[in-house]
Amino acid sequence: MLDFDTAQSRLAQAGKRPEAAETCPLYRAAGRVLAQPVVATLDLPPADNSAMDGYAIRYADYQPGRKFPVQQRCFAGVRPQALQEGQTIRLFTGSLMPEGADTVVMQEDCAEVDNLLDIRLKPKNGTHVRRQGEDVHKGDVLLAEGTRLEAAHVAVLASQGLVDLPVYPQLKVGILTTGDELAFPGQPRKTEQIFNSNGPMLAALVDRLGAQVVHVLHALDTPASLKKALATLLKDCDLILTVGGVSVGEKDLVKPAIEQAGGTLDLWRVCMKPGKPVALAHARHKPIVCLPGNPVSAFSVFALLVSPLIRAMQGRRDIMPPVQFGCLKTAKEFKETREEFLRVRAIPTAQDLPELIPYDKQGSGIISSLPWASGFARIRVNTAVGNGDVVPYYDYRHWLA
């Protein structure tokens, strides 16, 4: 059995990074991955402007008690006149600074009567002016290639006036569930069947990572059914995720079906709990990850082993999310012969580290543990861990994004 960290880095490198780029409109850019760095072509702000509703003056003109005639009322979006000596121009937040003015007096610190401004509080030289380029300089690298675009990045791109962006094509993922005991939600369920929760769950996980779910297929436990499904997935997808049928049972036919389709098995079985029977194969240069059928195992393997592979194949820069730490709060002691990933809920505390509370049922079929938890606590192999011990914590927010 392969150790967890080796398996994680081998899976992360099991796919090709994208080469081609395509164009995506700004309004559809959230969730996409930049294929080129973005360099500023515009200073931000593009020109000095007022940070307050107030009055522009030349600081050198100020004397206590002096009244300033209001030369112009200059709203944001209006071009200001050049300020004449001893005068003031009425400005609003975002109005451009008039030529010759260097200071803005907030309207709360002065009073305008009959077109004359009386400044009641001595201003500070240069105050309340937002300087050209103080945010961004023309030529700055704003976003790196491989950045996954979120709303914050869209704000930066829009502020440069960009409408079309170079992005990598969306990764196409195919999902294959297996097993005669499964009925899809919406289909009639026989007494001997359970609903197929892994198919929809994996589709949601893939979608959340910003990849495209091309197929969610189901194969019966027969070589012919598996062969047909694999052929479709290999034709249409860049990455294939199968689930179930990879353990040691007589109907665990997925690995032989991949080999029959011309694939080669790269690894099988990782020293982790849940998730041991996970396999990695390649067919037609495309990675196929075979996830264990138990729903908690499939979910955990996806987060910890598959998500870095997907990020890499999407062309993202940061493929391995941060691992944090937390303090276990438990009445039990944990010790396993495999690296264990407990489903835990992290509770912030006044101290540095959050408390990690394990769900009371930790079996691989306990679906209710998944939405209850906020992440996984890692229990090192053959190491007894109990209340108050500090352990690595893998937060869903990072590992499923």
Q: Which partner in ligand MOO, ligand LQZAQKY5, none is near 123 (CB below 5 to 8 A by kind)? A: none
Report how far Cα 166 is from the mean position of its chain's Cα atoms. 19
Of residues 185 through 204, those in contact with ligand LQZAQKY5 by CB under 6 A are 194, 196-199
**Per-residue mark of binding to ligand LQZAQKY5, 275-304 (x: CB under 6 A):** -xx--------------xxxx-x-------
Residues contacting residue 8 through CB under 8 Å, at least 6 positions apart: 304, 305, 308, 320
**Spatial contact of 174 and 239, defined as CB atoms under 8 Å apart:** yes
Shortest CB 217 distance to ligand MOO, Å:
22
| Closest approach of ligand LQZAQKY5 to the CB of residue 296, in Å | 9
Q: Which two tokens stand for residue 362?
A: 């930790």
How near is the Cβ of 372 to ligand LQZAQKY5 at its closest, in Å? 18
Q: Helix/strand/coil (H, E, C) string of 40-79?
A: CCCCECCCCEECCCEEEECHHHCCCCCEEEEEEEECCCCC
* Least distance CB 162 / ligand MOO (angstroms): 45
Give 98 or 199: the residue with its C-beta nearer to ligand LQZAQKY5: 199
- In this chain, which residue has its C-beta nearest to ligand LQZAQKY5? 293
Q: Which residue, 156 or 229, is less far from ligand LQZAQKY5 as judged by CB?
A: 229
CA distance 341 to 8: 14
Minimum CB distance to ligand LQZAQKY5, residue 230 (Å): 16
Contact 196, 185 (CB under 8 A): yes
Give φ, ψ of 223 to 5 degrees.
Answer: -60, -40
Of 322, 346, 342, nearest to 385 by C-alpha is 342
User: Interface residues with ligand LQZAQKY5 (CB under 6 A)?
Assistant: 177, 179, 181-182, 194, 196-199, 243-249, 252, 274, 276-277, 292-295, 297, 364
